[in-house]
Amino acid sequence: MTTAYPRRWRRPPQIVPDRRWRIGLQLLILAYLVLAVGSVEVDWTRVAEGLVRGQRFAMGFLQPDFTSRWTDIRQGLIESLTMTLTATVVGVLISVPIGIGAARNLAPPPVYLVCRSIVAVSRSLQEIIIAIFLVAMFGFGPFAGFLTLSFASIGFIAKLLADDIEEIDASQAEAIRATGASWWQLVHYAIQPQVMPRLIGLSLYRLDINFRESSVIGIVGAGGIGATLNTAIDRYEYDSAGAILLIIIAIVMVVEYSSSYLRKFLQ
């Protein structure tokens, strides 16, 4: 009890240990926030009006009107659902060879580079921008939407598939190779069993994403429920818009639950 212990303790800073750097960084963040918030121009009278509209929208959400625009909604839904499914199937079919080609441990360097660049282009362009161009080229309607979603699916699935193949257990592949198997046999016996469950999971996940995206690309004319929604909001028909949004939420939930069920069932 003779030793005196300190009566003060401060938690040592975890991320930036140097005090000057820390304060500088904090000032920088503060300055950015001030500038950023300052650059937001708000028309408060417009916002006040908006709150009234927001209330009307909330009411529309609570009392959705499914009937008065039902034919439009039905047409939009059919387009969305069909393009979701076809785009996912085509997207997966194309992504498998590209995914294998983009795996460093399977493909020779030139093939690897080509496939990786296809993946990079597909991933960095957003669906809506692709849709703008495809609509300009192929005309309005769900066919352009189908192409958009297929193209976007390729980047998504091929990338994750390739990463998966690169991460597989090398010793298993080696064991198969040691038996004198050809490249095709190698893919079939060593790679496929390891990545197949994951591929199915990815496809179902992409199905989910494609449906959500199909509700958006209609805004630029690529068909689907998005076009119907856009029209409803433009006409300030909030009860119809609320109905469409509720349908979208319901379908997303159904797709999400059934795909997680399917994934469990298949494994």
Partner 1 sequence: MSAFASGAPVLELHHLSKTYRSKTGATGDTALSDVSFRVPRGEVVGLIGPSGAGKSTLIRCINRLVEPTQGEIRLGDTNLVGLGTGELRRQRRRIGMIFQEYALVERLTVMENVLSGRLGYVPFWRSFTRRFPGQDIERAYRLLDRVGLLDQADKRADALSGGQRQRVGIARALAQEPELLLVDEPTASLDPKTSRQIMRLITEICAEHLLPAIVNIHDVPLAQQFTSRIIGLRSGKVVFDGSPASLSDAALTEIYGAEDWTAMQQEHEQDEAADADARLRLAGVVK
Partner 2 sequence: MSDANPFYRETSHRKPGSRPGEPRHYSQIWTFRTPHTRLAMWVGWLALVALFVYCWQVMNANTMWVFVNDTPSQAADLGSRMLPPSLGYLPELLPPLWDTLNIATLGTLGGVIMAVPVAFLAARNTTPSIAFVRPIALFIIVTSRSINSLIWALLLVAMIGPGILAGIVAIALRSIGFVGKLLYEAIEETDARQIEAVTATGAGRAQVLNYGIVPQVMPAFWGISVFRWDINIRESTILGLVGAGGIGLKLQASINTLAWPQVSTILIVILATVIFSEWVSARVRHAIL
With CB under 8 A as the contact rule, which of the stretches 1-9, 57-65, 123-131, 256-264 interacts with partner 1? 1-9
Choose which of 2, 9, 124, 182 interacts with partner 1 (CB under 8 A).
Answer: 9
**Complex with partner 2: residue 38 or 110, whichever CB lies closer:** 38
Closest approach of partner 1 to the CB of residue 8, in Å: 6
* Residue 47: contacted member of partner 1, partner 2, none (CB under 5 to 8 Å, by partner type): partner 2
Closest approach of partner 1 to the CB of residue 17, in Å: 11
Check residue 17 for interaction with partner 1 (CB under 8 A).
no
Structure token digits, residue 138 = 């192929």
| Chain positions contacting partner 2, by CB under 8 A | 32, 36-37, 39-43, 46-47, 49-51, 53-54, 57, 78-79, 81-83, 85-86, 89, 124-126, 128-129, 132-133, 136-139, 141-143, 146, 212-213, 215-216, 219-220, 226, 229-230, 233-234, 236, 241, 245, 248-249, 252-253
Closest approach of partner 1 to the CB of residue 10, in Å: 7
